[in-house]
Chains A and B, each alone.
Chain A
Amino acid sequence: MLTDRRRTLALLGLIIVLAATAVWIDLPGNPGIHIHLGPINLDRDIELRRGLDLQGGLQVLLEADLPPEETVDAGAMEATRAIIEQRVNGLGVSEPLIQLSGSKRIIVELPGIEDPERAIQTFGETGLLEFIDAGSSFLPAGTVVTTTEQIAPTTPISPTVTVTPITEMETPSPEPTLPSGPEEPVYQTILTGRHLTGANMGFGELGLMEIHFQLNDEGAALFEQYSSTHVGQQMCIVLDKEIVSCARIIERIPGGSVSITREGGFSQEEAESIVIRLRYGALPIPLRVETNRTVGPTLGEDSLQKSLVAGAIGLSTVTLFMLLYYRFPGVLADLALLIYASVVLALFKSIPVVLTLPGIAGFILSVGMAVDANILIFERMKEELRAGKGLRLAVEQGFSRAWPSIRDSNFSTLITCAILFWFGTYFGASVVKGFALTLGIGVVVSMFTAIVVTRTFLRLIIDLDVVKHHRWFGV
């Protein structure tokens, strides 16, 4: 008996610590965790993250803009995501979310953005990488040009003799950008970034640094045709209409494997910068905006206020009901409910869970579930008491008999939560995901509070021997 009591007390201590931590996390203006202990550096602000529907903002689902039969390369997709992330960081949005969704989509979420149209332009514009036919004119790096963007319709390849597949690069001049002339020439696009399958640098035969890039089959064919008819002319690499570098075609290049050399070789830095831009400077995959959701900040703020009020009303009604119907255990259940609410909220803040409107609904719904577990237990206890069992036995049996029901029934809700979560993740339907996550967390925590917290309270009360009448239990 003594060990039992000791265990109960230990559990009570644990519950108090847990509740205190939770309340500390929940308090607004929480300073966050900043630990600096030797090698441990932990800096974490703890804030409730509001979803787009609660604070306004923009969510965009971008889809690879490729013919449906073309498979999308996973590496290229990840590179695209990384580039978008860089561009978004330039917008100065706090807590942006950029993630892959399935094999050909990217979700971008920008909470609290002021000008959604401009934002979409900033990261959505493909950042087109092109190879253009500059004719005989050498264009210095940094020149802004106009291009056709469309690849010219193919014409039969005129036969040319080839020796070695090498183009030579002129020294890119660090001169200032030339102002474009009055009548701007439109340069023909030969290839775009989507024809590029890889770029790297290496040392050529003479031990000089070269740049290599590889083209896919379509690109190889196009390039072979172009190079065969344009020997001696300039081909330029253009990123977002800005010249990166120009090279002179020396001879026809078949096979899609191209090398760029320069007299004296590239410096390591230069080569790296060009390769990186070849690889990542442009989105390797063109994207189109498939889904766009914008919520104005006023609507978001309004929704938040209303749901908070609704939540408070709902919670207090439930608390009152438990109190009136179950009397003494009702008080305990209410206490457990408060602990439940603060633990769940603390979890939301520290995981962190992005709170959406349906998420709040999920949370409020899970309050009902938390109460359900308590109700199941109390109803069982009452039955045992009516059957003439002692208080202590009634409490223990009430718990052990109610447990299978609680476990089995909650599990079915968890199954649907998991399926919903999966569905929500797939399409960037963050409202669905938010709901599934909050309800799921709620269900798990509710099982914990019902079984651990309520039981510990009840045991403690019985040990203290303050309850004398069964009437206190509503029997």
Chain B
Amino acid sequence: MFDIVGKRYWYYLLSAIVVVPGLISLILFGLNFSIDFTGGSILEIQFESSSAVQPAQLKELFAEFGFGDTLVQSSQGGIFLIRSKTLDSPTKVTIEEQIKQRWGSFTELRFESVGPSVGGEVQRRAYLVVAMAAVAILIYISFAFRHVTNAVRYGACAVIAMVHDILVVVGLASIFGVLHGWEVDSLFLTALLTVIGFSVHDTIVVFDRIRENSRRYAGRPIEDVVNHSIIQTLDRSINTQLTVIFTLTALLLFGGVTIRNFVFTLLIGIISGTYSSIFNASPLLVEWERRPDRLIYVLSFLLPPVGLAVGLLLLLRGSRVSKPWARGSLVAAGVGVICLGGLLLLRGLIPA
């Protein structure tokens, strides 16, 4: 049979290969927030006859009205997408009249305009929403597994897997933002929260089996119990995954353009969710039991303040076992600080 737990480091590596570039892109370039979060306007128009207008001309027109940093994209069928600072109604009407006069009549496909104050508030609330979801789920898992020994471990491992999925999705958004100009809008936030829900959904199904099996096979090594549980739920995981992939792929290929990014984000996130519950969350339970030091080091690397706190705490307790751990976590935290510092330095060097 498959030995997933035995080969867990390979699977961690695969996760790292996916997550790290996204993380680097996130630190270097951040996210490309849409007008939902920053305020601004999007006007999508389609000219009736194939108009000779060039995007640059539209850009100039907007500049005449004081909208200097306007972006204009053209696509097939005489469709133009114009992104500008928040347009008020009268200005919009005037500009549209000008366009009609100069380049002929058009249909307004879509117009969205968000004031800067709402945008900022939505952004703040978006962070709150993600944080709320994470906390609510941590509480829920601790509650659902309250009768199991080490309930917190289950909760923590599920949260680590969840953070993994968040990083995959957000990292992806950052990379695609740089490469293809993808924007993070309220639909992205929706996709992200759905991924969080699904990630935990999958993790719970596997953990549920581990919970059941650890009672049934009490005394067997944890590696075997976890591995066995993963294998038992593998059919289900793959099949569920397939049905979701079927439906979402259909939506991706045949659904409207407007939700394409949304569906793609969901698809990636849900695949990541299943992967992380099988190959990260469950093996992490084994890790916690066998080599907690390694977990602490990785955590210290990723979150240097935590590493520092843990390291100092262990030093203060000063038992023989904890000394190398303390040293390790402090070193890991140091390396983490250096990496982060290096990236931030690099970010400063990038022209805006």
Contact = CB atoms under 8 A, between A and B. Distances in A.
B133 A419 contact: yes
Interface of B: 36, 44, 88-89, 92-93, 107-115, 117-118, 121-122, 125-126, 129, 132-133, 136-137, 140-141, 144, 186-187, 189-190, 193-194, 196-198, 200-202, 204-205, 208-209, 212, 232-233, 235-236, 239-240, 242-244, 246-251, 253-256, 258-259, 262-263, 266
Given A298-B107, A357-B258, A408-B208, A372 B243 contact: yes
A405 interface: yes
A419 B246 contact: no
A368 B240 contact: yes
Given A290-B115, A415-B140, A420 B254 contact: no
B89 A120 contact: yes
A412 B239 contact: no
A371 B243 contact: yes
Interface residues of chain A: helix, strand, loop or mixed (majority): helix
A150 B179 CA distance: 50
A306 B107 contact: no
B246 A426 contact: no
A291 B120 CA distance: 13
B247 A315 contact: yes
Q: Which of B109, B209, B247 has the most CB of A within 10 A?
A: B247
Given A306-B255, A409-B205, A415 B133 contact: yes
Interface residues of A, number: 73
Contacts of B249: 314
Nearest to B117: A290
Interface in A306-342: 306-307, 309-311, 313-315, 317-318, 321-322, 325
A404 B208 contact: yes
Contacts of B266: 361, 365
B244 A299 contact: no
A310 B197 contact: no
Contact of A318 (B114, B117, B243): B243
A361 B201 contact: no
Q: Which of B88, B190, B232 has the most CB of A within 10 A?
A: B190
A293 B232 CA distance: 49
B247 A412 contact: no
Given A310-B251, A364-B251, A372-B243, A291 B113 contact: yes
Given A376-B205, A405-B205, A413-B198, A299 B110 contact: yes
Nearest to B121: A427
B118 A357 contact: no
Contact of A368 (B110, B129, B233, B243): B243
B240 A375 contact: yes
A285 to B, nearest CB: 16
Contact of A61 (B118, B208, B243): B118
Contact of B89 (A289, A307, A325): A289
A411 interface: yes
Interface string A263-303: 00000000000000000000000001111111110110011
A358 interface: yes
B204 to A, nearest CB: 4
A410 interface: yes
Contacts of A322: 243
A431 B190 contact: yes
A409 B196 CA distance: 12
A118 to B, nearest CB: 10
Q: Which of A375, A412, A414 has the most CB of B within 10 A?
A: A412
